[in-house]
Chains A and B, each alone.
Chain A
Amino acid sequence: MTPDALTGGFSDAPVQSAHAFRASLEAMARPGSLHTLTGAIPPAPLSVAAGVLVLTLCDGTTPVHLAGAHDCAPLRDWITFHTGAPLVGAAQAAFAIGTWDALQPVSRFAIGQPDYPDRSATLLVECATLSATGPRLHGPGINGTAQLSLPETAAFIANRAQFPLGFDCFFTAGAHVAGLPRSTIVEAL
């Protein structure tokens, strides 16, 4: 284990994770809205926002999948030390972390069962930037329509078609986070 793995966690976990959860709740409940997450300093290539989400939501009961460049020793050590989450293959993951390209094909991830749609994966998609531009969103949580710079639209349209099954996404860039639950209807502009 690298010594860096021991640093970069929350300094005041109860309060910092409470603020982080509220921001992620607002992000997931209002798809397309941008929120800021701070408090963690994870090793590269994990963004601050994704690091905060990992510390807030992951623990020994949530298998985590690291995709692509994120599957590196410093990050594996950091997640293991701070959360105790088992690192697993894509099909078993409750949380999957990586760039959109690295996460392909997204059909590998759990979408829940018809009687337990909550048993589905949450993807933490690392993006270069996030902005309220691009594909149009509407559905629960959105007053009228919203826009979000999604990496593509076809996968999210296919994901919505499986509702109430499907995966849910957090998009992270630096300290920013946006949510896209399976319930959101995505339209390419």
Chain B
Amino acid sequence: MTAQDYNFAYLDEQTKRMIRRAILKGIAVPGYQVPFASREMPMPYGWGTGGVQVTAACLTPDDTLKVIDQGADDTTNAVSIRKFFQRTAGVAVTEATDQASIIQTRHRIPEAPLTEGQILVYQVPIPEPLRFLEPRETETRKMHELEEYGLMHVKLYEDIARHGTIATSYAYPVKVEGRYVMDPSPIPKFDNPKLSDSPAIQLFGAGREQRIYALPPYTQVVSLDFDDHPFVASKADHDCDLCGAGTSYLDEVITDDQGGRMFVCSDTDFCRARREAGHVGRLGTPAPSLEAAQ
């Protein structure tokens, strides 16, 4: 089957218009979840159907697409979506953050700073930050309407009462431009500061829940906290064992059943670039390109 059997970027034009209108309204009201008529996609819910639809509506043939899953370019979800758009849209793909014009991400923001002209598309499982506190859509909609976010602060307070600190470590709620409380998708709270004042356009797509929301560039995004328990963008207290980076978000990898473990950058492109630049971590070996040069 060839790409010509599909419309450009898979979706039909009527669907793309509907998604594009939702994206524009989302941009106009930052943080507000715009309902849209999410389509069945040729992948299961939970695999990024919302992000894929937003990406399909934004793609042009001139774009270079990067897809990451928890920071990695080479995991099943990322590879599948990248191949999907290579086949149906014929776009160029890359693993380098700075060369991509559209980056679809599952649960991470790349370590390399984003730039103007880039679009970051998030895959969102549950777009409603209040959903686990109030299951009724009619009620949460009313709470957003009335700007009634006390329940979210109670939840964070209960974290402190129980654990002594705010234990929420991912999908950490944020307030956008002082108005809407928004779920930043399950990114680690380490990434929350990168949401604010970003030069790139950030779009969020939730396929199963049929919501699109957006952050225009240079939008103020504040992680909720308390004066005496300020927000902390935490990460594992280690350096990357492959590239030695001390500032990147780390994954913990169990290496044996004797308690052995290593910490590696979750952003594979960032880690690769550092290793190719000659940085070596505790358990790392010089990058292949350097070995060949020697």
B22 CB-CB contact with A under 8 Å: yes
Contact B14 A117 (CB under 8 A): no
Closest CB of chain A to B125's CB: distance in Å? 21
Interface size on B, residues (CB 8 A): 44
Contact A115 B25 (CB under 8 A): no
B193 CB-CB contact with A under 8 Å: no
Give bound CA distance, A19 to B58, whole Å.
9
Give bound CA distance, A117 to B179, whole Å.
13
* Residues on the A chain within 8 Å of B34, using CB: 118
Interface size on A, residues (CB 8 A): 38
For A143, give its contact among B16, B20, B32, B199 (CB under 8 Å): B199
* Residues on the B chain within 8 Å of A11, using CB: none
For A19, give its contact among B16, B17, B60, B179 (CB under 8 Å): B60
Contact B8 A25 (CB under 8 A): no
Give bound CA distance, A183 to B61, whole Å.
31
B57 CB-CB contact with A under 8 Å: yes
Beyond A30-B217, A140-B219, whether A59 also contacts B59 by CB under 8 A is no
Contact A117 B32 (CB under 8 A): yes
Q: Which of B140-148, B151-159, B267-275, B280-288 contacts A (4 or more CB under 8 A)?
A: B140-148
Closest CB of chain A to B148's CB: distance in Å? 12
Give bound CA distance, A14 to B35, whole Å.
23
Max count, chain A CB within 10 A of own CB: residue among B14, B18, B20, B58? B20
B29 CB-CB contact with A under 8 Å: yes
Give bound CA distance, A17 to B18, whole Å.
13
* Residues on the B chain within 8 Å of A59, using CB: 14, 17-18
Contact B24 A24 (CB under 8 A): yes
> Who on chain B is nearest to A117 by CB?
B29
Contact B23 A182 (CB under 8 A): no
Interface string of A110-143 (1 = CB under 8 A from B): 0000111110101000000000000000011111
The B interface, classified by DSSP as helix, strand, loop or mixed, is: mixed
Contact A118 B27 (CB under 8 A): no
* Residues on the A chain within 8 Å of B142, using CB: 115
Give bound CA distance, A164 to B29, whole Å.
6
Closest CB of chain A to B200's CB: distance in Å? 10
* Residues on the A chain within 8 Å of B226, using CB: none
Contact A29 B216 (CB under 8 A): yes
B206 CB-CB contact with A under 8 Å: no
* Residues on the B chain within 8 Å of A116, using CB: 35
B13 CB-CB contact with A under 8 Å: yes
For A18, give its contact among B30, B59, B145 (CB under 8 Å): B59
* Residues on the A chain within 8 Å of B149, using CB: none
Contact A22 B58 (CB under 8 A): yes
Contact B57 A21 (CB under 8 A): yes
B250 CB-CB contact with A under 8 Å: no
Would you mind naming 28 contact pairs between A and B with Cβ atoms under 8 Å apart?
A17-B17, A21-B20, A21-B58, A25-B20, A25-B23, A25-B24, A25-B27, A25-B58, A25-B201, A26-B201, A28-B27, A56-B17, A59-B17, A115-B142, A116-B35, A117-B29, A118-B25, A118-B32, A122-B24, A140-B177, A140-B219, A143-B199, A163-B29, A164-B29, A164-B32, A164-B179, A164-B180, A181-B29
User: Which residue numbers of A lie inside 8 Å of B, CB to CB?
Assistant: 13-15, 17-19, 21-22, 24-26, 28-30, 56-59, 61-62, 114-118, 120, 122, 139-143, 163-164, 168, 181-183
Interchain residue pairs A-B with the least CB separation, the first 8: A141-B216, A181-B28, A14-B8, A118-B25, A140-B219, A18-B60, A29-B216, A140-B216
